[in-house]
Structure 1
Amino acid sequence: MLNNTYRSMKKAREIWDVLHNKYFNLKKDIDRFTIVNYFYHKFDPNKSMMDEISALDVYITKLAELNIVVPNAIQVDAILSKLPPSWNSYHKKILHSNETFTVEQLTTNMQVEIQGSESWM
């Protein structure tokens, strides 16, 4: 099959160029797909909040492998914007806070919030 496809090409460079363009474009599509997935990821109400944040962290790691750096402030805002409606008061509290949170600080703060709400039940 490969032989039939590239039989008309006389030089290895021609085959290389065709294959490179084909798979390089495929990689770019996968890269775009990763970016889109990160920004359009919605939290599943059936999963724990920490699992959802971990899923976002996986996207950040994949983007870092592509040399795409997502600033910490955008990561924090992405997490806050994806919170379910039941977290609205927490979302507002963080947005109106004078503190600047890192992702690690935010997740720690959210874990405390989750544990606090579980202790009331």
Structure 2
Amino acid sequence: MEAKLSEVTMVAKSSAMGGGEDITMATSETIPKSGPVHPSGGTVYVTPYVAPAHGSVGLGERPEKFNGKDFKRWQQKMLFYLTTLNLARFLQEDAPDLGENPDWQTVAAVDAWKHSDFLCKNYIFNGLDNALYNVYSPMVNAKALWESLERKYKTEDAGSKKFVVSKFLDFKMVDSKTVISQVQEFQLILHDIHAKGMVLGESFQVAALIEKLPPTWKDFKNYLKHKRKEMKLEDLIVRLRIEEDNRQSEKKAGNYHQEAKANVVEQDVLPFYSGRLFVRRPLVPLRDE
């Protein structure tokens, strides 16, 4: 026997749902009120599958609301979250078919599957912000919802991959900034590339970083290119930091020598007080008295 409910309110208060936060899910689906009739004549009451509340799943592990950005990261977190609730399989399963003359076990299994799929779908809905919730709310099951999100946002991820690759190829260091600060920019680009699922070998990263050194580092660049022993990226960055420190020290020493020469020239002219301000006059040799 089944009862048509205009609204079914499910309030989850468990650590799996975030430590006591009430979550309400409303639907107009047909929810089985009692199980089918057993061949012996008795009524079989079916207890739908309910996701266990694992104590290890805390408030911080529930994914943040997805707002259309960083889909891959959100998807991985949501997949892990659903896995802890034993609901991840409903992202790939279609609804079982009852057939023409189903027996009571088949009907009971289908009812339990629908209930678990209902939970899975609404956990995903709860992970979307309001704007996206309104867009995807017509989805009939968890699999359709999951695949629709993938089609939409994985395509956008493919476009962002091309953007990151273009950014990597166009990156070139300039002399107006410190090399180490630009190395940090380069590392951020590498991080974005890896975050998009693209893998660059360390030898390639080292060679690319050497090639992108600024024009005034031409001699040092050639020196690094002709080194036979391969370097790790961390070792190369240390070498660049030492080289830049040496260059800055030499530059300061050069400025000091120039200032010293200027002071020698200045000492040839001594100031005297004219009554209102100091003026300078050339030195005159003292007369012999």
Structure 2 residue 251 is the aligned partner of structure 1 residue 89: no
The residue identity in structure 2 corresponding to 1:87 is W
- The count of corresponding residues between Structure 1 and Structure 2 is 120
The residue identity in structure 2 corresponding to 1:56 is F
Structure-1 residue corresponding to 2:189: 59
The residue identity in structure 2 corresponding to 1:74 is F
Structure 2 residue 160 is the aligned partner of structure 1 residue 27: no
After superposition, what is the alpha-carbon deviation per residue over 1:50-75, rounded to whole angstroms, capped at 9, x for unaligned?
11111111111122222222111111
Structure-1 residue corresponding to 2:206: 76
Alignment RMSD (CA, Å):
2.6
Structure-2 residue corresponding to 1:113: 243
Point out where structure 1 has 5 or more consecutive residues left out of the alignment.
Answer: none
- TM norm structure 1: 0.79
- TM norm structure 2: 0.36
Question: Closer, same or farther in 2 for the Cα pair 1:110/1:18, shift >3 Å?
Answer: same
Structure (1 or 2) with the greater helix fraction: 1
Structure 2 residue 223 is the aligned partner of structure 1 residue 101: no
Point out where structure 2 has 5 or more consecutive residues left out of the alignment.
Answer: 1-131, 252-289
Percent of residue pairs identical = 20
Preserved contact between residue 45 and residue 84 of structure 1 (Cα < 8 Å): yes
Aligned counterparts of 2:174 and 2:218: Cα–Cα separation in 1: 16
C-alpha deviation, 1:110, in angstroms: 0.9
SS class of match (2:198): coil
Q: 2:166 aligns with which of 22, 32, 36?
A: 36
